[in-house]
A = this chain, B = another copy of it.
């Protein structure tokens, strides 16, 4: 009669369970709270137990990212460019939704099976758009890099991420002040054209990044060829 019946026997620990619980804590309280100790507590054990499945925190985060990637739906048929933009934007938003995940992604360089599949799709869309297949991999890489970085920036500050501006994010506010207060002597171009940076929405901004990069990827030749 050791396992009580009213409280079902504790399920066996497993990679999957740990990842699920981590995702859960993350959704509720942000990645910053999804620590080894906290997750361990949530699965009702000591922190040491997790180290049987993940060598360290970074590896746990990598697993979480690949899990999320697996849930991403690929855009339907249509012209290559909107599909490409959609795919990269989805990836960006996936990371931006869980602030801190993007930061992790930059450090750990995910390379799980689902990431490979995403890269394959990006490459195929770029090739459809006319890219040199030999360089499509670089193009995909660049798009993912920018998406990750943009997500890390966009990222909603977590509760008390040392960023509790009164009404607006003080991070944004600092930039606005810096641009508006630009000295026309020292920084004439910013003084003249800075408003353009503040004028459009983050979405417009992101779309411009995307378009510029796609245009560049399609236009540029391999670096090696020169000299």
Contact = CB atoms under 8 A, between A and B. Distances in A.
Interface of A: 55-59, 103, 106-109, 111-112, 115-117, 119-120, 123-124, 127, 133-139, 141-142, 145-146, 148-150, 152-153, 155, 162-163, 171-172, 174-175, 177-179, 182, 186-190, 192-194, 196-197, 200, 204-205, 207-209, 211-217, 219-220, 222-224
Contacts of A179: 116
Contact of A146 (B139, B146, B163, B197): B146
Given A149-B146, A220-B215, A138 B107 contact: no
Contacts of A56: 162
Contacts of A175: 109, 111
B137 A193 contact: yes
Contact of A208 (B57, B138, B188): B138
Nearest to A102: B106
Given A56-B162, A146-B146, A216-B213, A196 B109 contact: no
A106 B109 contact: no
Given A196-B137, A219-B219, A145 B146 contact: yes
A155 B115 CA distance: 21
Contact of A123 (B109, B120, B178, B189): B189
Contact of A217 (B59, B117, B204, B212): B212
7 contacts: A58-B162, A107-B152, A116-B178, A138-B212, A208-B222, A212-B213, A219-B219
A171 to B, nearest CB: 5
A100 to B, nearest CB: 9
Nearest to A191: B120
- Counting chain B CB atoms within 10 Å of each CB, the highest count among A133, A155, A189, A220 belongs to A189
A163 B134 CA distance: 31
A137 to B, nearest CB: 4
